[in-house]
Every structure is written in C-alpha cells, then in structure tokens.
Amino acid sequence: MIKKIESKNFDIKDSHVLKIAKKNGRYSSIEKLFSMTPEAVLDEVDKSGLRGKGGGGAPAGAKWRLIPNPSEKPTYLIVNADESEPGTFKDRQILEYDPHLLLEGIICSSYAIKSNHAYIYIRGEYVFWAKRLQVAIDEAYAAGIFGDKVLGYDYRLDVTLHRGAGAYICGEKSALVESLEGKRGHPRLKPKQKEPEWFFGCPSVVNNVETISSVPYIIKEGFEAYRAYGTEKSPGTMLFGLSGHIQNPGVYELEFGTNMLEFINQIGGGVKDGKKLKALIPGGSSSHILKADELEGITLDYESLRAHGSSMGTGGMILMDEDVFMPKVVKNLFEFYHHESCGQCTPCREGVGWSDKLLGKILDGNGTKKDLDTLLSLSFLLNGKTICVFAPSVAYIIDSYIGKFKDEFYSLVK
Amino acid sequence: MSFEFSKENEQKFQELLTRYPKKDSLMLPSLWMIQHQESWISSVAMEYLAKRLDTSPMNVYSVASFYTMFHLEPIAKYNIQVCKTLSCMLRGSEDIKQHIENKLGIKAGESTKDMRFTITEVECLGSCGTAPCVCINDDYIQNTTPQIVDKILDGLK
C-alpha cells in the first residue's frame, strides 16, 4: 500500500544535508536530463501523466506546454510552497526531510520550460522550513548546482526563496504571482482560453512543491516506471495526510487507487480511541464531506473521489468521530474562510461573513428556521460569481455539510 | 522618529535587487526586514520603504495591511499563536487556548500589561498531523498539551 518514491529518503538521518542527499540518489537524474532536449523532457512528463498535487490535479505537462516556445521574454518557474489548506501538511515533509529533492525537481522542470530563474513562494509561518530550504539552496550554490552552470552543464539557473506573510489565498496561483510582484494577494481574472501565468508580463508556470518533486523520478526512471504505479488516469503516487480523529496521524505516500478505508484502518490505525467514524473530508476543507457510510469502495484517485461526489484536493484527510457536532465544524470552517477571504469580490467578502454570522446566531440558540433557509440560499450567491474558487468552496461546505447533516442543524432552530 | 535599513539589511536589499525582474517584488522581503529590525512596521518605516521602492506610502500600507503576519502596531515580546482551525480544534485546541488565557490572565487578541505576551488565534498553521499546534513567535510547538505549554511559558524570559 505504501510506496515510497518521493518519501524514499524521509527516514534517513540528516537527509536534508547535501552530502547525504547526494549519497542517497539526489541529483542523479541530472546527467540524463541534460542528455535530453527540453522538448523530450516535456514529452516524458506528458507521457507520465503527472498531475498537479496541490489540489487541482491538472496535468503538469499540459501546463508547461502553455509557455510559448520559443518565448521572446524570459520564462519563470514558480514553486507553490504556500501550503495552507486545512488538513494539508505534506509539502513541509519534503522541505524538512528532503529539500534537495525539490531543488532537483526545479532543475528538471526549469530546463523543460527553458527558465533560468525559479522562485519558491513559501508561506510565512513556515519559518523553520524556509530556513532549512535556504540552507539547502545555499549549499547547492556552493556546490555548483545553481549559478552560471548547473553541475558543469552549460545551463544557467538561479533559485530564490520568497516568503509570504500569512494569507491563505496566496496558495491560489494567480494570487501567488500577484504577491510575488509585491502586491496584495488578489486572484486574477481567468482568461477565456488557457494561458500561462504572467509574472511581470513574462510567461510562467506555477506548480506545487510535491508536483515538482515528482519530476526527478520520471526523468531518471522513465515515464513507464512512474505509470507502473497508480491508475490509468491518476498515475504514480501522492503524499496523503491523516489528521483529526485518527489513531496514527501523519503523512504517508501511497499509490493512487489505494482503497481509502484500508488506508485509514490499516495504516492510520482506525479512528482515535476506538470510536466510530462519523464523516471525513478527503482533500482539505474545500472538498465535499463524506459520511462514514459513503466510503465503501472509494479509492484514492481523482476519478473515484469525483464519482463519489467529492474531490481529491490536496489529499489531506480530516476524520471526525461519532461525537463531533457538525454545526460546530461548519462554524469553524466559516470562521476560517471569513478570515481568509481576500475581500476582492463582494459575494465572497460579504457572503462568507454573512454565513458565519448566521450560523453563529443559530449556534447561540437565537436562530430561526428562516435563518437556516437563508444560509442554505447563500450557496447560490457564492457559487460561480467570483473571480476564484474560494467562494465556491464555501458554497460546497453549505451544500454538502448542511445537506448531509440536516437534522443537526434543524435541531438548533425554532 | 526615523527609519533606515540596518547595514545588514541594506546589504540584503541590494542583493535582492539582483534577483527579481522588477524591484516591486522586494515589497514583502523588505517588510519582513523592517519587522525583524524593529519588531513591528511603523508608518515612518513604510514611508521609507515607499521611497526605496519608488511607490507611494499608501501602496506600502495597502500591501502590509493585507498580510496578517505583519504587525502594524507594537507587539508583545512573545506572540503566542494558537491554531484554531479544524484539525487542531478536533484535537483540543480550545482547551489549550483556555489554558493559556487562564495562565496569563488575558483573552485571545489581548496582550499582558508588561507587553511580554500576546495571545493570537490563528488559522491553519499546516501542522494538522501534529495537532494541536501553538506557535510562539517563529517556533512551532506540536502535539501541544497544557503541561508542555506550562513548561515552555515558564521557561521564557
């Protein structure tokens, strides 16, 4: 069930130190990388079926192909390490235990899109991880891995670490780029047709830490080796998180297509303190909640979760035991979203606050049935009327959490 | 009152200028440098930064006030940030918060009179697998219990 590709070195002592990382295979894909053309690297990643592991699940190769080739302007790789989705704590494992895996991935990916400068945008709270990553970057510069030449090959690459400062929305790729440009983290309007992101008007790719960290294996071992794991449409592996009421919380690398309940029970050790499972959120708080009796037969891949009415998201599962009172959970999430709305679009800025307020009133025992109906109707006002998918996430919470646990909510109102 | 970068920060600023296509990108790194230097970001410092980045003080303020980690007012020596989001809540963050509030005699959002401690409730710290999580200034305390909190707070000078 557990298949360690990205997490291969996590258990090795001092695996974050360059010398030890190198001894354990880091930067071993570089020789093969430079024997290939950028086009061939793109092909390899395309064929591997690698999908973005930050939540969206978009094919990485297709995203890279949005960069004009040749490009008149410089191109940039921007790595999204703004890990802030509730229930998600996987990227920090890579940054903590194997930062050189990410840096190796950055070389492979930058080469494919012909970029000479990569930026890593890390959330402000991750001070320890930013320090660790900066040490790894400095070590790499000193060892001739970055700079004018990459390990002696005629290719220039710089890597710059950029710290965020506490804004969930900067995990949204266009907000991230805005923030990197020194502005407020406001998501940008989406173009009609697919386009790259534009960093100061230059075509750029934004990918999650884990996505980039998956690339070295694909280059070194070939796309077929990667496809040997997972399913046809969700190939490879992913770092899954378990948190909340689970006996063994943590991050585990699994093949896509692993049975969800087997994972929870065999590796996660089941629900904490032997209690019964009430519900779980499969991929960070922005995915639809699933009741315990809906989990039968679900496998951990994009298609299965979608077929069961939820989504893969970031793979960060939050479990809730039988004693959890769902209105409290929803209030907690509303407070999160209310706090984190960037304030750009009125339906989101006002609607999320309104939802939070209404539910607060209901939880205080002052709510009426009409308040609850108003709350349910807000889902319509939040969904599909804003620039980014933040407000729709709140709409999903209203629909799925309240929809599936109606009795608990109606028991609170007169 | 005046502000300018320390020698070390000035050097860093110059180095960063070479690392971005435009100096606009230096906004967040510079705000961080100011905060490290002064522990908070004053309007004088923002005016200084505006000049350095060829922008308006209002723009600097607009950006600085967007990000929750920038302190635009003086802050206590120890900022105790208690994560309150779902995974931490399920693992008892409310009890931890209560415990710290009782111990220090202040509520979340307040500072002690001697400006040694501030309690802040924060959203997901990305420490869900080691919940509940409390972050004191830059340091994460994971799998927090009231006993651990006591030990750490009592050890702070």
Question: Could you list the residue range(s) of the whole structural domain that residue A286 is in?
Answer: 241-318
Whole-angstrom distance, CA of residue B36 vs CA of residue B33 = 5
- pLDDT tens string A373-411: 999 999 999 999 999 999 999 999 999 999 999 999 999
- Same domain (yes/no): A91, A206: yes
Question: Tokens 């000078």 identify what position?
Answer: B157
- Same domain (yes/no): A263, A403: no
- Same domain (yes/no): A268, A312: yes
**Do A342 and A169 contact (CB within 8 A), yes or no?**
yes
Give the domain B7-64 fold: Arc Repressor Mutant, subunit A (1.10.10)
User: What contacts 24+ positions apart, CB below 8 Å, involve B136-143?
Assistant: B136/B78, B136/B79, B136/B80, B136/B81, B137/B78, B137/B79, B138/A127, B138/A128, B139/A127, B139/A128, B140/A128
Residue (of A87, A396, A181, A94) closest to B22 by Cα position:
A181
**Does the pLDDT at position A281 exceed 90?**
yes
- pLDDT tens string A182-225: 999 999 999 999 999 999 999 999 999 999 999 999 999 999 99
**Does the pLDDT at position B157 exceed 80?**
no
pLDDT-derived band at A243, boundaries 50, 70, 90: very high
- Same domain (yes/no): A93, A173: yes
pLDDT-derived band at A414, boundaries 50, 70, 90: confident
pLDDT of residue A224: 97
- pLDDT tens string A331-370: 999 999 999 999 999 999 999 999 999 999 999 999 999 9
Query: Domain containing A125 — which CATH number?
Result: 3.40.50.11540
Contacts of A249 (CB under 8 A, 6+ apart): A241, A242, A243, A268, B128, B129, B130, B131
**Hey, are the CB atoms on A183 and B89 less than 8 Å from each other?**
no
- Same domain (yes/no): A138, A220: yes
Which of B27, B53, B126 lies nearest to residue A92, judging by beta carbons? B126
- Asked whether residue A236 is domain-assigned, the answer is no
Q: What percent of chain A has pLDDT over 70?
A: 100
The pairing of beta strand B139-141 with beta strand A290-291? unpaired
Q: What percent of chain B has pLDDT over 90?
A: 98
CA atoms within 13 A on the CB side of B151: 6
- Same domain (yes/no): A286, A366: no
**Does the pLDDT at position B1 exceed 90?**
no
Alpha helix ranges (H) inside A82-222 = 91-97, 99-112, 127-142, 173-180, 209-221
Would residue A360 be called left, alpha or beta, if left means φ above 0 and alpha means ψ between -120 and 50 degrees? alpha
- Same domain (yes/no): A216, A312: no
Which 318-347 residues of chain A touch chain B by CB within 8 A?
318, 320, 324, 329, 332-333, 335-336, 339-340, 342
Mutate to test the interface with B, among A89, A169, A248, A267 (most CBs of B within 10 A): A89
Q: Which one is predicted more confidently, A1 or B135?
A: B135
- Asked whether residue A391 is domain-assigned, the answer is yes
Instruction: Give the total number of structural domains in chain A.
Output: 3
**Do B136 and B152 contact (CB within 8 A), yes or no?**
yes
- Pinpoint the residues of chain B covered by CATH 1.10.10.1590: 7-64
pLDDT of residue A76: 98
pLDDT of residue A67: 97
State the complex-level ipTM.
Answer: 0.97
Boundary (domain end) residue, out of A285, A318, A351: A318
Residue (of A318, A319, A316, A296) closest to A308 by Cα position:
A296
Contacts of A31 (CB under 8 A, 6+ apart): none
pLDDT-derived band at A1, boundaries 50, 70, 90: confident
Mean pLDDT of chain A: 97
Q: Which residues in chain A have their CB less than 8 angstroms from residue B66's CB?
A: 167, 184-185, 342
Which of B22, B85, B130 lies nearest to residue A86, judging by beta carbons? B85
- Same domain (yes/no): A146, A109: yes
Name the strands in the sheet holding B139-141, side by side, starting at the edge strand that comes first in the sequence: B117-122, B78-83, B134-136, B139-141
pLDDT-derived band at B47, boundaries 50, 70, 90: very high
Query: Domain containing A307 — which CATH number?
Result: 3.10.20.600
The pLDDT of A248-268, averaged and rounded, is 97
**Does the pLDDT at position A140 exceed 90?**
yes
Chain A residue with minimum CA distance to B16: A160
The pLDDT of A120-147, averaged and rounded, is 98
- Same domain (yes/no): A314, A345: no
pLDDT-derived band at A73, boundaries 50, 70, 90: very high
- Asked whether residue A233 is domain-assigned, the answer is no
Query: Domain containing A333 — which CATH number?
Result: 1.20.1440.230
- Same domain (yes/no): A314, A330: no
Verdict on whether the full-model pTM lies above 0.90: yes
pLDDT of residue A198: 97
- Same domain (yes/no): A153, A216: yes
Which of B24, B68, B128 lies nearest to residue A241, judging by beta carbons? B128
Distance set, CA A323 to CA A15, A33, A294, A319, A359 (Å)? 41, 53, 18, 12, 20
The pair of three-digit structure tokens given for residue A90, joined into one six-digit string: 């996987």
Chain A residue with minimum CA distance to B126: A89
pLDDT-derived band at A172, boundaries 50, 70, 90: very high
Residue (of A108, A109, A101) closest to A24 by Cα position:
A101
The pair of three-digit structure tokens given for residue A366, joined into one six-digit string: 């002052």
Would residue A71 be called left, alpha or beta, if left means φ above 0 and alpha means ψ between -120 and 50 degrees? beta
**Does the pLDDT at position A241 exceed 80?**
yes
Whole-angstrom distance, CA of residue A9 vs CA of residue A23 = 10
Chain A residue with minimum CA distance to B53: A182
The pair of three-digit structure tokens given for residue B79, joined into one six-digit string: 């900022």
The pair of three-digit structure tokens given for residue B102, joined into one six-digit string: 């009782």
pLDDT of residue B137: 95
CB contact burial A352-386 (16+ within 10 A = b; e otherwise) = bbbbbebbebbbeeebeeebbeebbebbebbbeeb
With an 8 Å Cβ cutoff, is B143 touching chain A? no
- Same domain (yes/no): A334, A357: yes
pLDDT of residue B107: 97
Name the CATH superfamily for B78-155. Glutaredoxin (3.40.30.10)
Residue (of A49, A20, A5, A47) closest to A216 by Cα position:
A5
- Asked whether residue A331 is domain-assigned, the answer is yes
- pLDDT tens string A298-337: 999 999 999 999 999 999 999 999 999 999 999 999 999 9
- pLDDT tens string B62-79: 999 999 999 999 999 999
- Pinpoint the residues of chain B covered by CATH 3.40.30.10: 78-155
Report DSSP letters for A279-336, one per residue.
EEESSSTTS--EEGGG-TT-BSSHHHHHHTTS--TTSEEEEEETT--HHHHHHHHHHH
Which of B63, B70, B124 lies nearest to residue A86, judging by beta carbons? B124
